[in-house]
Homo-oligomer: A and B are copies of this chain.
C-alpha cells in the first residue's frame, strides 16, 4: 500500500492532535495532553514556528506523523529534537514509522544539523532496539527533570 510523506499543513493539525493523544495512551499517560488544535495551529504556523511536522498520508488519511523542532547543544551546536513519532495502530507494520524517521534524519542532515535527539520509554524495547540498529545511542545515566508553571509559582512564592 502506497503512502506519501510530506510536510504537515494547518489542515493536518486535527489529525496530528489525534495522533499525539494516541501516543500518550500508548505511553500510559492518557490524560497528559493539555493542548488543543488551536495551540498546534498557532505555534506551528506563526512567523517563527515552534515546531514542524512530517505526515504520512495514505488513502486520504493521515496515518502517522513526526513532530520536531530546533534545539542547541553546547557540545555539538544546532540540533533537532524529535518530540513525537507515531503511526496509528491500524497502519502499523507497513514501514510508515521508518519512513518518517528516515525523513526527519535526512532533513536534519540537509540542514547541516549536528545531531538529532529524542526520548524513549525504557520498557519500549522494540523502539529502543530499532533506534540502536540505526546507529543511535541510548543514554540511561541522564534523567529528565521537569517543573510545571504551577510548581514554579509555588516554589517562587515560598521565598
Chain A positions within 8 Å of B, measured between CB atoms, are: 20, 24, 29, 32-35, 39, 43, 48, 50-51, 67, 69-78, 81, 83-84, 102, 105-106, 108-109, 112-123, 128, 131, 134-149, 151-156, 159
Closest to A28 in B: B141
How distant is the Cα of A25 from the Cα of B32 in the complex, in angstroms?
A: 36
**A83-B74, A136-B147 given; A141·B123 CB < 8 A:** yes
Residue contact A32 to B75, C-beta cutoff 8 Å: yes
Could you pull out 20 A-B pairs where Cβ atoms are within 8 angstroms?
A20-B75, A32-B75, A35-B73, A35-B76, A35-B77, A43-B72, A76-B148, A102-B156, A108-B149, A108-B152, A109-B149, A116-B146, A116-B152, A117-B144, A121-B143, A122-B141, A136-B145, A136-B146, A137-B147, A138-B145
Which residues of chain B come closer than 8 Å to A39, judged between CB atoms? 77
CB < 8 Å neighbour of A122 from B20, B108, B142: B142
Which residues of chain B come closer than 8 Å to A33, judged between CB atoms? 74-75
Q: Which of A32, A109, A147, A151 has the most CB of B within 10 A?
A: A147
